[in-house]
Structure 1
Amino acid sequence: MTDAVPTELLADRLRRAGEHAAEQGTDVLFLTPGTDLRYLTGFDGSSHERLTCLIVPAAGHRAPPALVVPSLEAPGFAGVPLEALGIDLVTWTDGEDPYLLVSDLAGGPTRMSVDDDMPARHVLGLRHAFPDVPQYLGGTVLRELRMRKDPAEIDRLREAGAAIDRVHRRMGEFLRPGRTEAEVGADITAAIIAEGHAEAAFVIVGSGPNGASPHHDVSDRVIEAGDVVVIDIGGPLPGGYNSDCTRTYAVGGEPGPDVKETYAVLQEAQERAVAAVRPGATAADIDAAAREHIAAAGHGEHFIHRTGHGIGLDVHEEPYIVGGNDLVLTEGMTFSIEPGIYQAGRWGARIEDIVVVTADGVERLNTTARDLVVL
């Protein structure tokens, strides 16, 4: 584990998870290694073919919390404050059926939830162990906790935002005509780590027509003078909280009038969406603030994705800033605002900041200039 979360905070999260499970009518929540388990226990690990599973009973349920772990992996949990959290550690060895062990510990549930990213082999193993108990997604239980960040989480996201901003401020070192997207991407990857990240989770260098593909990666395309280049980068800090920031650059000289005019529309749309963030607004309101301005300027068909996504221990998590999502924003929610305009075969542009809903408005966690930067 790194950047340990205070035990009392983990205990509060675990308690509230049980309360939310009870409110939603589920008797028990099963979590395998991933960000949900990390959120509740601080354990940072990955799921393997051997079952590791946290059993979180609903408030009022008779079974205590338990963590079922393969014996050979139990030493890896030495730093997890299981005893202080009231979690029983139960081990199993190869040759035993861990799913039946979980069944024995779960206390006869009539409805259970599994975490959204649980591997299928474990979902099916639990289904076999509980043949008459319906399974539901556990994300609906934990979303109310995870999408409202506490002050410590927001501080970590501020640190992540500042770290990725430092990388964008160095873009003049990497981005110039004559280099391939892959070469630029390799330098950016090294800079992301040098500026404090544990790893580079993604590096998008979309030059010229590649910038019109929102999830382009990198390629062997040589960047040319006059290209518009979309740089979307981010990753986790050692504590697990992620950065994600996009800026658009003009390489090798001033762009033409078409690019400048279109980019001005995009920049105003992003400003309007940020300005619309406040407690009481809905996720759909924020999407509309950006989308309606872009559509009014004649580029509606060129904005082809939602306006944003939540961020925290996962790069993409709830809340999702998209039309039709009537979720009411509340203090502590953190998400991206990233409208884009993409002209297929020509060029694209996107501006992305992470924001947090404050008591009376919004705070941007990225502070670099949002102008079309000419390099």
Structure 2
Amino acid sequence: MSAPSSTLHAISSVAPGVASPSTPSTATAVDHTALDSGRMARLRAAIVEAGCDAGLFYDPTNIRYATGTSNMQVYSLHNACRYVFVPAVGPVVLFEFKGCEHLSVGHPMVDEVRTAVSWYHFIAGTRVGEFAKLWAEEISALLGPDARDLAVDRCDPIGASALGEHGIRLHDGQQAANRARMIKTPDELDLIRTAIDGCEQGVAHMRASMQPGMTEQELWAQLHAANIAAGGEWLETRLLTSGQRTNPWYQECSDKTIDAGDLVAFDTDLIGIGGYSVDISRTWIAGAATPTSDQQRLHAAASEQLEHNLQLFHPGASFAEISQRGHIPAADIHSVTNAAVAHGIGLCNEYPLILNRDHFDGGGYDGEVEAGMVLCVEALAAPPGGTESVKLEEQILVTDTGIERLSTCSLELD
């Protein structure tokens, strides 16, 4: 089965003295039926475009994209306990964790709910092969005798072998899902804006909470609390550091005490309202201190990188072009730990990943920016072997004429 690519694109704990975070003031009423049906239409089109008869999805973000349902999202990231069968045409069957079937009965995007056949070792023990065989028989029956091409996002060798015994040909389901999720529907954009508003209120709460003497972990907890209070879900990383722990970047928060005058750098990396991810970075000065000249230089360099690279995004721009034209700081403050110019984002970090020119030959790939993409553009000024760094990141929407900055909270140090 095949279809032109145009088919897909046509479907279009709180610190003392600090107030508790509030529900986002700009939250909009989301038509979840329209949201879910729009996403399902894009996914079915992507399955057809991949030349497949159906898709089988285990990644909880793909299940959510397909059906609008969620259950034990973090647990199911590392335990294959939920999956959904999405035919190009026909009824969608959600296989739910045993005992949780009632959670999704009657959902508009789910035609049938069945109990998942789990065969990962923790559940199946010595019976892995037996349960995998039962699982494969059920999937084969759903495909039917004349349909043998299946897009699967996750499948270990035991499962692949069991499906192969039924003559089922496996295709890359993650690529199909990425193709669908790459362009956001109008309903998705409404929810993304609400999620960003909720995150930014949490960031404001965290900034109001920040005071010398608290630990990095205590400060990071403020964003967790605000995210949950607003209806968000979880944080994918723990990227908040202070002082000398800001360099090199990619260290997670610790029990280090934040001192007055420290730079405090963080990356939200959170799954917020409606399951949509918000990924912005800011760097602040702790306490009432005036930034030093070195700190100001780092901030100016990261700001220059960010503002230059934001202007590179427009429909038709190639990933290779963006990489080559992208600005990177001077050698004495450029760290190779920041490989990305930008990456896609939706229910989590998504396709594409556009690498800086000093990483592109080793791991980059080409593609084309399209209207409707939501991206996060990154900047980092970090002297190799130095003591501090500045990390900045903005979330944007690519429009027909350029970009719309979706994140709005201050980029200033103080």
2:315 aligned partner: 279
2:296 corresponds to 1:260: yes
Unaligned 5+ segments in structure 2 are 1-28, 119-129
Deviates more, 1:262-271 or 1:103-112: 103-112
Matched AA of 1:350: K
2:371 corresponds to 1:371: no
Task: Please show how residues 342-361 of structure 1 align to structure 2 within 5 Å.
Answer: 342-343=382-383, 344-361=385-402
Deviation of the 1:158 alpha carbon: 1.2
2:71 aligned partner: 45
Instruction: Please list the CA deviations of residues 227-253 of structure 1 after superposition, one character each: whole Å capped at 9, or x if unmatched.
Output: 211022242334111212211112242
2:373 aligned partner: 333
2:341 corresponds to 1:304: no
Deviation of the 1:9 alpha carbon: 4.9
Task: Please show how residues 214-229 of structure 1 align to structure 2 within 5 Å.
Answer: 214-229=249-264
Residue 211 (structure 1) aligned to one of 246, 263, 271: 246
1:180 aligned partner: 215
Deviation of the 1:138 alpha carbon: 0.4
Deviates more, 1:92-101 or 1:161-170: 92-101
2:161 corresponds to 1:127: yes
Deviation of the 1:104 alpha carbon: 1.6
Deviates more, 1:128-137 or 1:267-276: 128-137
Q: CA 1:50 to 1:98, structure 2 compared with 1: closer, same or farther past 3 Å?
A: farther
Q: CA 1:345 to 1:266, structure 2 compared with 1: closer, same or farther past 3 Å?
A: closer
Contact 1:30 1:114 (C-alpha < 8 Å) held by counterparts:
yes
2:352 corresponds to 1:319: yes
- How many Å separate the matches in 2 of 1:127 and 1:64? 26
Contact 2:194 2:273 (C-alpha < 8 Å) held by counterparts:
no
Deviates more, 1:98-107 or 1:11-20: 11-20
Matched AA of 1:106: L
Residue 197 (structure 1) aligned to one of 207, 229, 232: 232
1:103 aligned partner: 140
- How many Å separate the matches in 1 of 2:196 and 2:173? 29
Contact 1:28 1:55 (C-alpha < 8 Å) held by counterparts:
yes
- How many Å separate the matches in 1 of 2:244 and 2:284? 14
2:33 corresponds to 1:7: yes
2:105 corresponds to 1:78: yes
- How many Å separate the matches in 1 of 2:207 and 2:49? 52
Instruction: Please list the CA deviations of residues 270-297 of structure 1 after superposition, one character each: whole Å capped at 9, or x if unmatched.
Output: 001112221111234444444x3424x6
Matched AA of 1:164: C
- How many Å separate the matches in 2 of 1:32 and 1:93? 12
Equivalent pairs, count? 358
- How many Å separate the matches in 2 of 1:93 and 1:267? 51
2:63 corresponds to 1:30: no
Q: CA 1:152 to 1:14, structure 2 compared with 1: closer, same or farther past 3 Å?
A: closer
Matched AA of 1:353: E
SS for the counterpart of 1:339 is strand
- How many Å separate the matches in 2 of 1:143 and 1:225? 44
TM-score (norm: length of structure 1): 0.83
Identical columns (%):
28
Q: CA 1:13 to 1:293, structure 2 compared with 1: closer, same or farther past 3 Å?
A: closer
CA-based RMSD of the aligned residues comes to 3.0
SS for the counterpart of 2:264 is strand
Q: CA 1:65 to 1:99, structure 2 compared with 1: closer, same or farther past 3 Å?
A: same
Matched AA of 1:76: L
Contact 2:150 2:171 (C-alpha < 8 Å) held by counterparts:
yes
Unaligned 5+ segments in structure 1 are none
SS for the counterpart of 1:347 is coil
Deviation of the 1:349 alpha carbon: 1.1
- How many Å separate the matches in 2 of 1:70 and 1:204? 31
Deviation of the 1:176 alpha carbon: 2.6
Contact 1:33 1:45 (C-alpha < 8 Å) held by counterparts:
no
Contact 1:303 1:341 (C-alpha < 8 Å) held by counterparts:
no
Residue 329 (structure 2) aligned to one of 247, 270, 294: 294
TM-score (norm: length of structure 2): 0.76
